[in-house]
Amino acid sequence: MATKPDLSQVEQFEKSNLKKTEVQEKNDGAKQAYAHEKTLTQLSQFPKDNLKHVSTEEKSNLPTQEDIEAEKKSGF
């Protein structure tokens, strides 16, 4: 069994010795706007002629009715 840590020093700590701090949130809207504009510019300049057409083929691996019946008979 794990032993509990000694918290006596924490309980006796004087909180008035702590300094007041202010949280500075990083909300740099100008940087985000620049990154967004740069991304849109790069997307608009992308050479779409280099892309190749792709056809998607959907495959269905569902069991047949015979497979279902055979599995029912085998007891699974």
Ranges in the chain, pLDDT < 70:
1-2, 76
Contacts of 71 (CB under 8 A, 6+ apart): 63
pLDDT for position 52: 92
Q: What is the pLDDT of residue 2?
A: 67
What pLDDT, on the 0 to 100 scale, is given for residue 1? 57
Residues 47 and 45: their CA atoms lie apart, in Å, by 6
Task: Report the pLDDT value the prediction gives residue 40, as an integer from 0 to 100.
Answer: 94
d(CA 29, CA 37): 12
Tell me the pTM: 0.34
